[in-house]
Structure 1
Amino acid sequence: MPGTNLIVPVVLWGKHAPTHCVSSVYLSRDQKTLVTGCYDGQICIWQVDPESLKMTPRCLLVGHTAPVTCLSRASIIQDNNFIVSSSEAGEMCTWDLVDGKCRESVKLSQIHTNIQAYHMCNSEDLRLFCNGYYAEILIMDPFSLEILFSLSSKMNPDWISALHVLRPSSRKDDVVLAISITGTVKVWSLLGHENKQSEPIYENESKQIRCLNALSLNCCAYNQRTVLIVCAKYCQIYDAGDFSVLCSIQAPSGERWMSGDFLAPDRVLVCSTEGKGYLYKLPANSVPDHKGFHGPTVDHDSPVLFGILGHPDNKLLSCPPAMRFVITSAGGKQRRLLLRGDSAGVVSVWSVDDAAVPTANQMLTHAPIVVTSLDIAWAEMNPSPVGILDQLNHPEEQEIKLTASIYLLAANRLVVGREDGSIVIVNATHTYNCSYCTETTSS
């Protein structure tokens, strides 16, 4: 704005929605806000109706220069309106979801591939447990984005590929269970008074298992006796006591596993790179409450596929989607959902509760209960959104795409380059009004 030091960014999208190839997805516990990060570094905030789960895009946040790899909540308070994001460039941001402002940002040398928000003992708020392309586990404050302390490895130090933080029912301390890319399982015990001045914190236990490049690790919340570790070609159930393999599930032909979680002591959900969720019932030797737990494996004693969460059209994706299993609560009712954001910018939601109960001698495929995208939201707008240079487009002529732009502050002019080689110069505050003249040159 001429004559002031204030510059107000204004974006006019036009008739076409921006591309949004989803790389990460997050749903708040109260089911009111969905957040999707994309490979372009942008973050989209969606307003959600908790009852119908209808989603409306509300805000686009621009602050990352690389794909957004992780999205996490920032507070134990359910309606707290802050999230934390991280990117492949080591950037971390804390966002206010009400006004879209970035409240804090840092640039780290470490690149996170996973962030778990966890409420530690003796802590007033959440802590972020981060792992990625580095050998430690970093514990960070979600609001200051300060590294509070780190967990190191004495035995076989290597990148940590997956972790899970939990509080055993019979103990008052917190336990961090993790696995390195070379297949070393490690256990740390935390008492809650760890800080930057603490001595190096090394693992209490360490064991090598035959499991390379794990993608996710989850301890069963219902009994804390079994652990699900997911790799690309297979996922396995382990006994948490001695880390012996109880059963294994091979990835479907032409697909790779991405992540997984327990739905019950005897049921798991495993997600694939094709954007599907596979529901399995575990054999007796993998269920702690069963008398056959940890017993010898027989030929017929193997996981049984009883359901698939997928799209009926089975459309091929140009890259693996972002998938996340979430447990939410609205109106005092708990709900389990599977979220998917894909390369076309489509967000899909499945009700896991509707599909989690096996049907005798049947394998059912379940369609998503909600499907939406920016393109769908744009198509539903009436009137259509206003573009920067809509006044130059003749209704009967093919639209010319914009490829570059720059704002000249001193002249208050917007200069726009188009794919046909032309350059358009317009008054920046009147770009949408056809009564103002424009200057057009050819490159």
Structure 2
Amino acid sequence: MNLSVQAVAVWGKIAPSHSITAIMITDDQQTIVTGSEEGQICLWDLSSELKISSKEILFGHTASVTCLAKAREFEKQPYVVSATENGEMCVWNVTSGQCIENTKLPYRHTAIYYYHCSFRITGEGWLLCCGEYQDVLIIDAKTLGVLHTLSSSQSSDWINCMCIVHSARIQEDSLVAVSVTGVLKVWDLSLSLNSIQERQSVYEKESKSLDCINCQAVQFCTYTERLLLVVSSTCWQVYDYCDFSLLCTEFCKSGQCFAGGEVLAAYRLIIWTEDGHSYIYQLLNSGLSKSIYPADGKVLKETVYPHLLCFTGVKENKSFPFVMGFMNERKEPFYKVLFSGEASGRITLWHVPDVPVSTFDGSPKEISITATWTLQDNFDKHHLMSEGIIDHLCVAKDGTENAVVSTSVYIPSLDKLVCGCENGKIFVTLGLKTARARLLENTSLLKENLPYKVLNGHSSRVTCLLYPHDKSVRFDPSWLLSGGQDSIVICWDIFTGGILHQFSLQSGPVAELLQSPENYQLKDHSIVFCVCSDHSVAILHLQKRVCLLHARKHLSPVKKIKFDPVENMLMVGCEDDSVYIWEVETG
């Protein structure tokens, strides 16, 4: 009989870190989805009054989330897809929180768009993806397998941004994209469906070089089917979609960088910046005036001018980077919502009026914040929130908490829970008994009868922990390793709490402690590897208590380590695809 084990998380009073890197609102405007630098996906309830409350945290990624998108027609299946820096992709059911499908591909996506033509595409539709690779990938929305590529006949390059253009007037779909070098490309999706399904080459139907470097967004105006908005970090521009002639250019203020934009209505745009501000413009002359070229043909004379109607701003946490988006839902409750997520974990919403107007004197009007919320706000709201599993150990005599857990490891063979803290302390206690007492709120058992040790040795935050005996019996069962922000690795006796040895690396914070695979180890080798924040790698011999090698010349983050004790060679693979081979004896 199969036994199911239900995992229970005891968070404590401090919310987990959730540095937002991607944000979206579902089509029904009932759920906000955020991805984080830590790799978690967070689901937030959004009420009809635009009130926010966190609902679930989904774990499945091991790297920072780069983008989010819907993965089905939302009325039928409430699915979203997430992608990360290391190529992981997951499809989530935002109603149940279940991971429906996952894969890992050798591609780093920066934008994903769902596309489905029900009467011409079999299956669940396609995910059109762009990122740090050439052109556009077509991925099956159900299996997450790569189906095909939209290729370039010329100027093949990475795509910075793109959008799907659906023309209701002629019932045709196109994909408009802008490359990192500012080349605009248009692929005809409607005419290419058969070629894509038959795996024939598909090339762009149009290509034009724009005066636009570092493009952040491109959007098609479905209201007029004539305007194309292109946003770069220094300016935004409006083009005539029929001939790609330039109609309007507006440069950003000094010290600001544009980060994206959307079409609000016919001849009305909203543009936002990296620091969380946004601006709503009305295009005068209806935005359809013909571009006029002077006689010398050198300078384009623009005849369309933007008028600033409204703006939004932020009043605090200005130092945090923002990711922003806009939701223009035409179903009830008919909200136009501008939303942002910060690296601090804060979500902010602005309800944009259906008809934004300036003040009576013609100056731009500020739109106030409608709602703002963080995970910590949820934790503070629920006063009955359970304490953390070792909170009873982290309270000073005056009742104030003096330690926040920064890293932890559970040792099943010893039933010991080891927690490293921000203040450099390490707590060692019984894992299962402490968890049981905490869940059952047995305070007397926690404070009086459960043994624990406090290990003092680090001067600042403990960054990583390793109990090597769990993975290899060649290591002494008493050894516990800790790495800190103070660039020190300490070998402890876990039974006595004493320090056996300190390795001072002087290479910045210790990022990771690793073991070599069992089949690479000899009987007299008790070796672990230490990866530091400056991309250096140290080989530490625990039995001899010496650093055999400190390799410091890697130019990018370390991705993989292999050690051959027979040849006495260390091989280090980095994220820039470089490989370094070190001779341990000579360095």
**TM-score calculated relative to the size of structure 2:** 0.69
Within-5 A mapping of 1:39-438: 39-49=37-47, 51-78=48-75, 80-120=77-117, 122-123=120-121, 125-190=124-189, 191=191, 192-195=193-196, 197-284=198-285, 287-288=287-288, 292-294=289-291, 302-311=305-314, 313=315, 315-318=317-320, 320-328=321-329, 332-353=332-353, 356-360=356-360, 361-392=362-393, 393-394=395-396, 396-418=399-421, 419-431=423-435, 432=438, 433-434=442-443, 435-436=445-446, 437-438=450-451
In the alignment, structure 1 residue 11 sits paired with structure 2 residue 4: no
Could you tell me whether the CA contact under 8 Å between 1:30 and 1:79 is conserved in 2?
Answer: no
Aligned equivalents of 1:187 and 1:226: distance in 2?
15
| Change in 2 beyond 3 A, CA 1:102/1:301 | closer
| Change in 2 beyond 3 A, CA 1:261/1:8 | same
Could you tell me whether the CA contact under 8 Å between 1:120 and 1:174 is conserved in 2?
Answer: no
Within-5 A mapping of 1:24-39: 24-39=22-37
Could you tell me whether the CA contact under 8 Å between 2:287 and 2:304 is conserved in 1?
Answer: no
> By how many angstroms is 1:370 displaced?
0.9
> By how many angstroms is 1:165 displaced?
1.2
Aligned equivalents of 2:322 and 2:389: distance in 1?
31
Q: Quick one: which amino acid aligns to residue 405 of structure 2?
A: L
C-alpha deviations, 1:86-120, integer Å up to 9, x for none? Answer: 11211111112233222211111111111112233
Name the SS for the 2:95 alignment partner: coil
Of structures 1 and 2, the one scoring higher in RCO (CA 8 A, sep 6+) is 1
| Change in 2 beyond 3 A, CA 1:188/1:75 | same
Q: Quick one: which amino acid aligns to residue 425 of structure 2?
A: G
Report how many aligned residue pairs link the two structures. Answer: 433
Aligned equivalents of 1:135 and 1:168: distance in 2?
27
> By how many angstroms is 1:8 displaced?
4.4
Aligned equivalents of 1:357 and 1:40: distance in 2?
40
Name the SS for the 1:215 alignment partner: strand
Aligned equivalents of 1:351 and 1:414: distance in 2?
47
Name the SS for the 1:20 alignment partner: coil
Could you tell me whether the CA contact under 8 Å between 2:291 and 2:303 is conserved in 1?
Answer: no
| Change in 2 beyond 3 A, CA 1:416/1:89 | same
C-alpha deviations, 1:148-206, integer Å up to 9, x for none? Answer: 22100011111111111122234344211112111222111123334464211111122
Q: Quick one: which amino acid aligns to residue 110 of structure 2?
A: T
Name which one, 1 or 2, has greater alpha-carbon Rg: 2
> By how many angstroms is 1:243 displaced?
1.4
Could you tell me whether the CA contact under 8 Å between 1:417 and 1:424 is conserved in 2?
Answer: no
Could you tell me whether the CA contact under 8 Å between 2:291 and 2:302 is conserved in 1?
Answer: no
Could you tell me whether the CA contact under 8 Å between 1:276 and 1:310 is conserved in 2?
Answer: yes
Name the SS for the 1:83 alignment partner: strand
C-alpha deviations, 1:295-348, integer Å up to 9, x for none? Answer: 57879952111110223x254123x21101112355x34221111011221111
Aligned equivalents of 1:230 and 1:57: distance in 2?
32
C-alpha deviations, 1:45-67, integer Å up to 9, x for none? Answer: 11221x21212111111222222
> By how many angstroms is 1:225 displaced?
0.9
| Change in 2 beyond 3 A, CA 1:422/1:66 | closer
Aligned equivalents of 1:177 and 1:299: distance in 2?
23
Aligned equivalents of 1:27 and 1:429: distance in 2?
41
Could you tell me whether the CA contact under 8 Å between 1:226 and 1:240 is conserved in 2?
Answer: yes
Aligned equivalents of 2:237 and 2:95: distance in 1?
41
CA RMSD in angstroms, aligned pairs only: 2.5
Could you tell me whether the CA contact under 8 Å between 2:115 and 2:125 is conserved in 1?
Answer: yes
Q: Structure 2 regions of 5+ residues with no counterpart?
A: 294-299, 457-587
Q: Quick one: which amino acid aligns to residue 20 of structure 1?
A: H
Aligned equivalents of 2:329 and 2:302: distance in 1?
38
Aligned equivalents of 1:379 and 1:59: distance in 2?
16
| Change in 2 beyond 3 A, CA 1:339/1:79 | farther
Name the SS for the 2:187 alignment partner: strand
Could you tell me whether the CA contact under 8 Å between 1:424 and 1:439 is conserved in 2?
Answer: yes
Q: Quick one: which amino acid aligns to residue 406 of structure 2?
A: T
> By how many angstroms is 1:411 displaced?
4.2
C-alpha deviations, 1:219-262, integer Å up to 9, x for none? Answer: 11112211110100011001112212111111122110000111
> By how many angstroms is 1:5 displaced?
7.4
Q: Quick one: which amino acid aligns to residue 86 of structure 1?
A: A
Q: Quick one: which amino acid aligns to residue 173 of structure 2?
A: D
| Change in 2 beyond 3 A, CA 1:334/1:148 | farther
| Change in 2 beyond 3 A, CA 1:208/1:112 | same
